[in-house]
Amino acid sequence: MKVIELGQTHASLDEVVDQAQDELVVLRKANGSVFALSHVDEFAVEVELLKDNPEFMALLRQLSQEPATISLEDLRQELAS
């Protein structure tokens, strides 16, 4: 973990982000506020975005209410359509 005191550094945002590729970067403001910058997996970001999407969550709820199985005869009829 790398702690960067924002009032005492002249590092660019690109430099700080580059450091966050390898380790957690903690940014501390002069007033004591602390923030964290970390590399995240794109899949994790997608999950976070989707779980806050009401339409997607409604679709998942709808799909979870459907029967989990289908009979062979129903499958044949569905494929024949």
Q: Domain segments of the chain: what residues? A: 2-37, 42-80
**Backbone region of residue 16 per phi and psi (left: phi > 0; alpha: psi in -120 to 50; beta: other values):** alpha
Lowest mean pLDDT among 7-11, 63-67, 75-79: 63-67
Whole-number average pLDDT of the chain:
91
pLDDT of 65 > 80? The answer is yes
The pLDDT of residue 9: 84
pLDDT of 81 > 80? The answer is no
The answer to whether 27 and 36 have CB atoms below 8 angstroms apart is yes
pTM over 0.75: no
